[in-house]
Structure 1
């Protein structure tokens, strides 16, 4: 399979990716999507556990997170494996890792040690709780970070235990923040020539999107609670059931609500004392939602969408994968794209976001299926090792 060359704004950058599963590798995926040379290091014979994750018989998650990367193996518990990393780091821009804090230091690969080799190195560290603080040494997964960051408590219905999103949201948020921090550190390096360490945590990445949750309590004593499909005081903005599906209508702003009333054939509703202002609609949220649901229950989703769109009211169908694959706007914007894959012909995945007008990103392929597929290529190209030297390392279990 002929893999196309790297394209995008980061083609002059190299990332050495250590760690596994989601949070760190998702950060690496972002770099690879925008053209960086991402070299993922996996344990010999094992690989990243994510290779086997997904629905039974269809472990496709790996094909998203590994896309565009070169994958090698190195046993980081052995001195020779650690030496391979040091030699790769000498010419790299970033080292990305999501081990438990202290692990790399135990292997002689901590930031200070690697900075001595490459002062321009930017070390991206992703963990549950960070490199400092009393919880630093704890293991941390997305579910725990979502709980500690405040997200879990407010998710779900009020009469039951907190729910979770159907994705590893905390991991993805941590990966995004890690990439943002890394690019900020890169800008600093361009001005000063100095690298630095980026400390991204799952719980703080979740905390960062929790809006006014903390100051609302600090100054008003208000604790946000679970409210299901709506936000208290923001009305109308909910899911409504039509005759053939569900749709979200968001008409909480005064001018938008006036247009919404026209759309549903009740223009006088905007002047009703219970709904005239944003505050009034918030206080009478349940009654307003019931009124809208009664209107929607006799109409198709197509009719609801048409009426809302004609009147400039934000509306959107509740999508699953089938709707995404058939939507013309998804197609026009290449929100889903074909990604080259040997194992999964015709593979479609999410595109690269955000879109850049001059140097857009594009995944080259769905990542290697074989563990260590690029070991010999990378070690010979970057470290000057001969095939015989690579084979010796392989025989001894180092790669």
Structure 2
């Protein structure tokens, strides 16, 4: 199996659930050597979330692929000493505890930096390492709400809704990966491992979401406009909405480019709207968005999902059905791009996993193994640190492992 671009990079994961583990997962997918520290009494709670197989979450198989699992009791000073030894050897530490927890354990950023100035620490938390809210608990749902995403999600006459996945945690994790790569580049440019300058990457969940919120700030500051919920429509960009076809299917049609809008109207047989000078540009279409949406829906009322897609594709108008996972698993585009990997569990049961994104031409990511059993790599990791069989047995007997 080809080595990834991050082969040789050591990552220590301290954290649970989604944001930190997803960040470390992506580093591992591209070749980094990831050691995940888990509590001996059950490990990461995500092991038991959603759909289980033999008592372990299917999600775990993906979220912790390519990681080594080391059990450590961080309440015991011997466990903390092992964690510190690993932290000082790591290129990147990923953690998502509340600010101050690592400092209490003696492995905070400044504490490690004093012994290894090249260390890079990615810290993911609800509100960041500073500010009046830093000590408050902050899950992804709170970050999505405070960062502005929930306010604009849903229909205007109903309470805000959530996206169907933990998007706040995942967006924060991606910012963590970006920060880690930038910090690694800087470290290598200033002397490399052991000599270069490390740094702390401080990712707040609400700020990662906030970073995705497009033009909210200048629109409010300059024009006093607060973006509101608009259902399936894309506010201020017309037309881009979800419509229903005659067979009860939903179709997304994005005819918001000026030339695209004209092609859409001609494909629908609305020559009048295609030639309307006011509708030739987006700023003229916005005041008439309800009229335009009504015209598109009236056309969709005469079409099945397949006939609508055939017509719109022929007219070069962006449109698509809304996929469930069932749709994805048989879709020619997903299959052509190799978006599913075939693996098997330890008992031989086959299982498909999502393929790794993004796709690199020279050093693509790989799944070397699925999420490990709790503590599966504990002995091997401690042997590499110089611990004997007797010392490991004693630590296990004392509940440190």
Give the conservation status (yes or no) of the 8 Å contact 2:4–2:365. Answer: yes
Q: 1:35 aligns with which of 31, 56, 68?
A: 31
For 2:193, the equivalent position in structure 1 comes to none
SS in 2 for 1:214: helix
Q: CA deviation at 1:25?
A: 0.4
- Per the normalisation by structure 2, the TM-score is 0.94
- Measured after TM superposition, the shift of residue 205 of structure 1 is 0.1
SS of the residue 1:35 aligns to: coil
Q: 1:343, CA displacement in angstroms?
A: 5.8
- CA drift at 1:59: 2.5
**Would you say the 8 A contact 1:146–1:206 is kept in 2?**
yes
What is the number of equivalent residue pairs in this alignment?
393
Question: Which residue of 1 is the match for residue 282 of structure 2?
Answer: 278
Asked whether 1:165 is paired with 2:163, we answer yes
Structure 2 SS opposite 1:90: helix
Once the two structures are TM-superposed, the CA of residue 160 in structure 1 deviates from its matched residue by 1.4
Is 1:201 aligned to residue 199 of structure 2? no
Report the counterpart of residue 146 of structure 1 in structure 2: 144
Q: 1:349 aligns to what SS in structure 2?
A: strand
CA distance in 1, matches of 2:60, 2:3: 21
Q: How does 1:114-263 map to 2 (within 5 A)?
A: 114-192=112-190, 193-244=196-247, 245-263=249-267
SS of residue matched to 2:94: strand
Answer yes or no: is the 8 Å Cα contact 1:341–1:365 preserved in 2. no
Shift in Å at residue 347 of structure 1?
Answer: 1.9
Change (3 A) 1:127 1:334: same
Which position in structure 1 is the counterpart of 2:16?
Answer: 20
Structure 2 unaligned blocks of 5 or more: 191-195
Match runs of 1:99-118 below 5 Å: 99-118=97-116
Does residue 377 of the first structure (1) align with residue 380 of the second (2)? yes
User: Which residue does the alignment assign to 2:81?
Assistant: 83
How far did 1:274 drift? Answer: 5.3
CA shift for structure 1 position 235 = 1.4
Within 2, Cα distance between the matches of 1:340 and 1:91? 33
For the 8 Å contact 1:340–1:364, the answer to whether it is kept is no
Q: What's the CA shift for 1:6?
A: 7.0
| Structure 1: segments with no counterpart, 5+ residues | none
Deviations along 1:197-245, whole A, 9 cap, x unmatched?
1111100000000111011111111111111111222111111112332
How far 1:152 moved relative to its partner? 1.0
